[in-house]
Amino acid sequence: MKNRKKINYEDDYLLFKNRLSIKMLLMMLCSLLVIAGIYLFVLKGNFANAVIAILEHFVYQDRDEAAVVYLKTFKRYEFWLFLLAVLGVFFVIFRMYVDNVSKYFKEINRGIDSLVSEDAQDIALPAELASTERKINSIRHTLTKRKTDAELAEQRKNDLVMYLAHDLKTPLSSVIGYLTLLRDEGQISDELKTRYLSISLDKAERLEDLFNEFFEITRFNLSNITLVYGKINLTRMLEQLAYEFKPMLAGKNLKLEFEMQPDIFVSCDANKMQRVFDNLLRNAVSYCNADTSIKITAEQIEDHVLIKVINEGNTIPQERLERIFEQFYRLDISRSSATGGAGLGLAIAKEIVELHHGQITAHSADGFTCFEVSLPLVGKS
């Protein structure tokens, strides 16, 4: 593809050079013809006869006298007059050539002005400037896409902050309400007191989760992820991580199923990679149907290891699946505080996996969603 573009650019530049060369040759030919005409007219007697005829007709009324005046005035400077005429011809031809070349610069400047003014139409230049036209239009398309992407990202971020701020208010109001009841109610039973404290603690923990999401946004945008490599047993990491998810799994009566080869070793940043699978499991638990199973598979295939996290739930439409790894994108359109996070988990997972020279993809069909992570083995990172 790159070689094809290079060939196209070379063809365009060759066309441009050929056009200019042809125009230069035509102008040189015209200048030679004009100089030849001047030479024949001035040095071969035609000019002399014309001047003498004019003097004879309008001034002296005598050919001999007119010839004498011509010899004294024009003949003496005949060579210089010819040289001046030749220089004049070359100047005119050169000026015409410069004007012709400057026309291309004017067209390029017009294209740049159109680019700066953010004109929606594609920029059209002469055929000789086809490569420049493509480059300017490519820049225009890139700038337009970047502007659109930036506006969409900013809008998603603003929406996210708005929804999170709304979510913060709800549990905070509950905490304040129940604590107020505990303070003001003098004759409250121990059972009711325990219930109010339990609800307040749940809401406070939800507040902590929301604050963590805010910090996640800040960290994701203000810092770069750096890796500290080490040799880890991927199988044990996944088993340990699954054990830590038992409370979340119990909340929806979910089960974890494993199909993993024993003792798969990879070279990676253990903390960052644990974060990847933590995000994938959280996502699976959030969008998995209750009373179903989440399946984790891991197998070594040639020089890499393939990990899959499969859950049963609503099929994700293709248009949403294509955006699932975007920053701040959430499948939970309602932005409910009960499910879904800041929309950064999968975006961060993708960045970490790619920093490890791996790949992460998502597939969804027939009520099952599968996330696949491919990582190089030890020594391949």
More confident site: 11 or 129 = 129
Fold of 156-222: Helix Hairpins (1.10.287)
How many C-beta atoms lie closer than 10 Å to residue 346's C-beta?
24
Instruction: Give yes or no for residue 294 having a pLDDT over 90.
Output: yes
Answer whether residue 124 shows pLDDT above 50. yes
The band of 362, judged by pLDDT with boundaries at 50, 70 and 90, is very high
Q: Please, which pLDDT band fits residue 369 given cuts at 50, 70 and 90?
A: very high
Residue 127 has, within 13 A of its CA and on its CB side, a CA count of 5
Which carries the bigger pLDDT value, residue 226 or residue 200?
200
Sign of the torsion formed by the C-alpha atoms of 18, 19, 23 and 29: positive
**Residue 57 CB neighbours (<10 A):** 11
pLDDT, mean of residues 251-255: 88
- Reported as a single tens digit per residue, the pLDDT across 151-161 is 887 776 776 66
DSSP for residue 337? S
Mean residue pLDDT of the chain comes to 78
Q: What is the DSSP string of 17-32?
A: HHHHHHHHHHHHHHHH
Q: What tokens appear for 381 in the block?
A: 């990172």
pLDDT, average across residues 300-328: 86
pLDDT at position 327 is: 63
Whether the model clears a pTM of 0.85, i.e. scores above it, the answer is no
The hierarchical CATH code for the domain 230-376 is 3.30.565.10
**Looking at per-residue confidence, does 264 or 3 come out higher?**
264
| Lowest-confidence segment of 41-50, 143-152, 195-204, 270-279 by average pLDDT | 41-50
State the pLDDT confidence band at 337, using cuts at 50, 70 and 90: very low
Provide the pLDDT confidence category of residue 130 given band limits of 50, 70 and 90.
confident
Which pLDDT belongs to residue 381?
Answer: 41
Radius of gyration of the chain (CA): 41
Residue 218: the pLDDT is 61
Q: What is the pLDDT of residue 297?
A: 94
Please, is 296 exposed, middle or buried when counting C-beta atoms within 10 Å of its C-beta (0-12, 13-18, 19+)? buried
Which pLDDT belongs to residue 336? 46
pLDDT surpassing 60 at residue 243: yes
Per-residue pLDDT, 224: 59
Q: Is the pLDDT of residue 379 over 50?
A: no
What mean pLDDT is predicted for residues 321-342? 59
Q: Which of 18-27, 36-45, 75-84, 197-206 is predicted with the least confidence, judged by mean pLDDT?
A: 36-45
Structure tokens, 18: 């050929």
Distance, CA of 96 to CA of 24 (rounded, Å): 10
Residue 344 has pLDDT above 70, yes or no: no
Give me 373's structure tokens. Answer: 């992570």
Per domain, the residue ranges of the chain are 9-117, 156-222, 230-376
Res. 200: pLDDT tops 80: yes
Rounded mean pLDDT of 60-83?
Answer: 70
The secondary element (H helix, E strand) that includes residue 205 is helix 190-222
